[in-house]
Amino acid sequence: MYQVLYRKWRPRTFDDVCGQSAITQTLRNELTSNRISHAYLFTGSHGTGKTTCAKILAKAVNCLHPVNGNPCNECEICRGIDNASVTDVSEIDAASNNGVDDVRAMRDETAYTPASAKYRVFIIDEVHMLSQSAFNALLKTLEEPPQYVIFILATTEVHKIPATILSRCQRFDFRRIDSKDMVGRLQYVAGQEGKSLDADAAELIASLSDGALRDALSILDTCITLNDHVDEQTVARAAGLSPREYITGIMRAVKNGEISDVISILDDIYTSSKSFTRLCEELIESYRAIMLIKTVKNPQSMLKMSGAQIKALSECAPLYSVPELIHIIKLLQTALDGMAYSSNKRIDMELCLMKAADPSIDDGLQAISRRLSALEGKIKMGDFTLPGAPDDGKQDDKKAGPNDTETTNETRAAAKAETENAFAKQPAQPRIQPVSNWSEILEELRNLCMPLYAVLDDSVAYISGNYVLIDAPNSLFRNLINQPGYKDHLRTAILNKTGRRFAIGPYKSIGQSAGSGPSPLESLAKKMKDNGVDVTIE
């Protein structure tokens, strides 16, 4: 009978365990120095080697001929534990045996000495699933078990385990397996199976498994049934990923604001029966990668992607500003959360990407910030046509002729081609943008200065360089802000919530009442009209 790879290649010694060298070395040192604890707690995400190390430890403490802390896997005890004929080692699934009676039965078994081994070892998997009464029944035995009894507890949710249990165990935290270690292990297993695995394909499998080697081996198992030579396309096909041209096509259409192209690509994905949930996750990962490329000096160490993917996304990075990326990622995360309860995931994906492509249909603060950023970028480039402005055929004192239309079309085509080639200039960063956590700052101010907090009720704040500009409807704000004591409290609240020191000032002029004047977009449009440019804002 065929045995799946993650079972066939499960490590049998501590030396074979991948990516947990600190833990395995500690356990080997304890065994060689005969400093064995009576209770161990192995915690970490799934597929990182907790149960595997528990079984190796159970063999190592009972092995007749241990080798540097490792079990020999040749003696009758090691072979008996492997084939489950040695009853002194028991593995209990707490997910299905979580009642107090199950724990009492196990506790009663501790009264019996080992039949053939040196220690009686109880491995309790998913121990966090035990009921409170079951934990209480385990407490005393776990603290002072007989000298021949060892408990090994394994869990993925250590926060659900009572503190009284934690304090009685020697704890080991298993970390997610590093991508480099996982790639090496995958290529070794593939080679032993007589298959070839490309480096890019191994990196993609490591990315999909999210640090769980068991998941990675399961994906590899599926891939080698499709093809003896596993490349990146084989992995994408086995994992049900959307083709890269779909991802890059969506990102290009979103950047160009081409909603019709976005809907067309989503229709192709729907026709090919690809998962919209998986598509949303891939887009989030791609946009996050671009954000890290723009903000981190060495993003390669933080990105679980192939070198070709990172290179392609690096070429796209200059097209985006950080606020724009944050807005798109939040839209995608909101859509992903909603898909868990939605009856039509296609609609959720369409609405999300429509808002990402056209911020004017999104009334959030980050969408407004994107619109302001795009508007300022156009003005810097000399384009004084606002979105939604009517085309009346007038341009200064002369009517646009055929040559002018051709020039405009050529300019737009050149801009689109520049975006598609991912070599466009960096868009201008917004000079003024809303303070996203202003409500948190006000809550902080409530504890520092209640009078100023009351005056700033219903206020809005903007960041401009090193200034925080406050638009407050209460006219008392202008009097209080000029008093050093009040201003110091406000600066402290802003520093506590942003980590930066800002100068403070009113957003509007002293003679203009807050809330009654035009919006920033309207003020900008008025200035442009005063300069002879006919614009309107919808």
pTM: 0.61
Specify the domain boundaries for CATH 3.40.50.300 within the chain: 5-174
Angle between helix 259-271 and 276-295 (nearest 10): 130
CATH topology of domain 433-507: GMP Synthetase; Chain A, domain 3 (3.30.300)
Q: Given this model, what pLDDT does residue 390 score?
A: 46
Q: Given this model, what pLDDT does residue 119 score?
A: 93
> Which residue, 499, 470, 473, 494, is CA-closest to 482?
470
Q: Given this model, what pLDDT does residue 534 score?
A: 57
Q: Given this model, what pLDDT does residue 382 score?
A: 55
Residue 119 in 3-state DSSP? coil
Q: Given this model, what pLDDT does residue 523 score?
A: 55
Specify the domain boundaries for CATH 3.30.300.180 within the chain: 433-507
Cα radius of gyration (the chain) = 31
Half-sphere exposure of residue 93: CA atoms within 13 angstroms, side-chain side: 2
Tokens for 51?
Answer: 């149960």
User: If you classify domain 179-239 with CATH, what class do you get?
Assistant: mainly alpha
Q: Can you list the positions of beta strands (E) in 49-143?
A: 89-93, 120-125
What are the per-10-residue average pLDDT scores of the chain (538 residues)? 85 90 92 92 91 93 91 91 88 88 89 89 92 90 89 92 92 90 90 88 85 90 88 83 81 88 89 85 89 84 73 81 87 90 88 86 64 61 51 44 51 54 42 81 84 81 84 76 77 84 70 45 56 53
State how far the Cα of 408 lies from the Cα of 404, in Å rounded to an integer. Answer: 6
Specify the domain boundaries for CATH 1.20.272.10 within the chain: 253-430
- Per-residue b or e along 59-83, where b marks 16 or more CB atoms closer than 10 Å to that residue's CB: bbbbbeebeebbbbbebebbebbee
> Which residue, 269, 422, 451, is CA-closest to 350?
269
> Which residue, 270, 534, 532, 231, is CA-closest to 388?
534
Specify the domain boundaries for CATH 1.10.8.60 within the chain: 179-239
Q: What is the DSSP letter of 67?
A: B
Assess contact for 141 and 167: CB atoms under 8 A. no
CATH number for the domain whose boundaries are 253-430: 1.20.272.10
Assess contact for 135 and 165: CB atoms under 8 A. yes
Q: Which amino acid is at 30?
A: E
Q: Given this model, what pLDDT does residue 525 score?
A: 55
State how far the Cα of 479 lies from the Cα of 78, in Å rounded to an integer. Answer: 82
Question: How is 382-421 classified by DSSP, letter by letter?
Answer: T----TT----SEETTEE--HHHHHHHHHHHHHHHHHHHT
CATH topology of domain 5-174: Rossmann fold (3.40.50)
Q: Which amino acid is at 388?
A: G
Assess contact for 290 and 313: CB atoms under 8 A. yes
Sign (positive or negative) of CA dihedral 477, 481, 486, 488: positive
First-to-final CA distance of the chain: 69
